[in-house]
Amino acid sequence: MRRPENVMVHHLVSEILFFGLGQDVLERFLHDEDMLFLKKPVPKNPLQRQLWDMFEYPASSRWAKMVAAVNVVLVIMAVINTCVQTLPEYRESDPLQCSPNNRSSEYAIEGVTSEGMTGFFAVEILCNSWFLVDLVIRLTATPTRRTFFCQIMNIIDVLSIVPFVFDLGLYLSGTVEDPDAPAGGLVLLVVLRLFRILRIFRILKLSRYSDGLEILWLTLKSARQELTVMFLLVSIGLTVFSGAIYAAEFGHPKSDFHSIPDSFWWTIITGTSVGYGDMIPKRPIGKLIGAVCSVSGVICLAFFVPIVVAHFEYYFHHGKELKRLQDVLDQYNNQQTDHPSEWKPYLVVDEGVPNPKVTFAPAVDLETGEKLH
């Protein structure tokens, strides 16, 4: 069966269901439309399955929507809290810039001052406690623990919680003030600061509850080959133009290009047509290299931007069509309530594949005899 270009997928699916052409015909049609997918595994234990659906699929039930709403609110609150803490009026003296003889007022835990715990640290405890509970529940209920930590969103969850565990451990142990040993204290602070930067990545958790961010992630994932080629070309151009501008400006008394690595910044800014003006070629040959670099950067971007946009348009329109298809399948399933033995199509979203697809399942599980929701 072939679909005319002017006919939407959900329209033809509704016709197939109306005329009762059967499961095989519908499966072959959706397979040709790249919308057929085997159902992902679910926990066998009923309690684990309920917890998994509640914390992993926001649209599965009313409780799942409430859990998703709490997650969104706490993610936004945690990100705002992390950003506001960096304002100068809310920060103690920077431990990395203080003299070794003035270490008594330095604190290794952000949000904890000489007067005790601040509101910032209290918000961190509230948000990260919920994130930790969410992670533990999903880890306990997941049907495939081997692949749980291979998913990018779960890795982000772990990395965003690690700084909180460090800070809470230091606070509960009473290790609030920075150690007196200059070397060990500075190394500890540098490591903790690097870990705390990871907290900002928890903003990516919102992609689990946003169709727009999910489409953007799927676009980047599907265009990874094109992006790899683009980064390869950018790396080649970065090396070539940085070496060329360094050689052209070498020996000039007022040269801003002191080395090839130092010229990387100028090449990136010039190739993207930004041009801050902090590094300027002084010789005519250097200006010519700058012009060629700027034109080459524009041409390189012009080649790859339309490809990425094409992927984005595909997933954007594909997502809208899947929502219409879901309405058609729901309407058909509601009409089959009097025939529990018949097959029913379900729309399943799997984070492990490039796009959401459709699967089919019987109304009654053949192994357990339980009705499928």
Is 292 in the same domain as 324? yes
* Other residues' Cβ atoms within 10 Å of the Cβ of residue 246: 21
Report the pLDDT value the prediction gives residue 111, as an integer from 0 to 100.
63
Q: Mark whether 143 and 188 lie in a shared domain.
A: yes
277 lies in the same domain as 319: yes
Predicted confidence band of residue 165 (pLDDT cuts 50, 70, 90): confident
pTM of the model: 0.66
Examine the domain organization and report whether 159 and 244 are in the same domain: no
pLDDT at 53: 84
Q: Which two tokens stand for residue 121?
A: 């640290």
Looking at the fold, whether 329 and 268 belong to one and the same domain comes out as: yes
Nearest of 346, 348, 347, 350 to residue 363 by alpha carbon: 346
Average pLDDT of the chain, as a whole number = 76
**Among residues of the chain, what percentage have pLDDT more than 90?**
19
- Does 169 share its domain with 269? no
Question: Does residue 371 fall inside a structural domain?
Answer: no
- Residue 247 in this model has a pLDDT that exceeds 90: yes
Q: How many structural domains does the chain have?
A: 3
54 in a domain, yes or no? yes
Q: Using CA atoms, how far apart are residues 268 and 205, in angstroms rounded to an integer?
A: 30
- Whether 67 and 18 map to the same domain: the answer is no
pLDDT digit string (tens) for 66-111?
A: 998 999 999 999 889 888 888 887 765 544 444 444 443 344 566 6
Q: Are residues 21 and 86 both part of a single domain?
A: no
Claim to verify: residue 193 and residue 52 sit in the same structural domain: yes
Distance CA 241, CA 247 (A): 10
Helices (runs of H) and strands (runs of E) counted in the chain:
11, 4
pLDDT, position 235: 93
Which amino acid is it at 227?
A: L
Does residue 344 register a pLDDT over 50? no
What's the CA gap between 295 and 273, in Å, rounded? Answer: 8
- Answer whether residue 346 is part of any domain: no
pLDDT of residue 357: 41
Alpha carbon distance 39, 349 (integer Å): 9
pLDDT tens digits, one per residue of 176-230:
544 444 444 556 666 666 767 777 877 877 877 777 777 887 788 888 888 898 8
Q: For residue 348, what pLDDT is reported?
A: 43
Same domain, 161 and 58: yes
Q: Structural domain of residue 173, as residue ranges?
A: 46-94+115-207
Q: For residues 354 and 228, what is the distance between their CA atoms, to the nearest angstrom?
A: 17
Lowest-pLDDT choice from 219-223, 281-285, 321-325:
321-325
pLDDT at 266: 94
Residue 11 binned pLDDT confidence (cut-offs 50, 70, 90): confident
Residue appearing with tokens 């431990």: 95
* Rounded Cα gap, residues 199 and 157, in angstroms: 9
Do β-strands 112-113 and 116-117 pair in parallel, antiparallel, or remain unpaired?
antiparallel
Query: Given this model, what pLDDT does residue 97 score?
Result: 46
Arithmetic mean of pLDDT, 238-256: 92
135 and 259 in a single domain? The answer is no
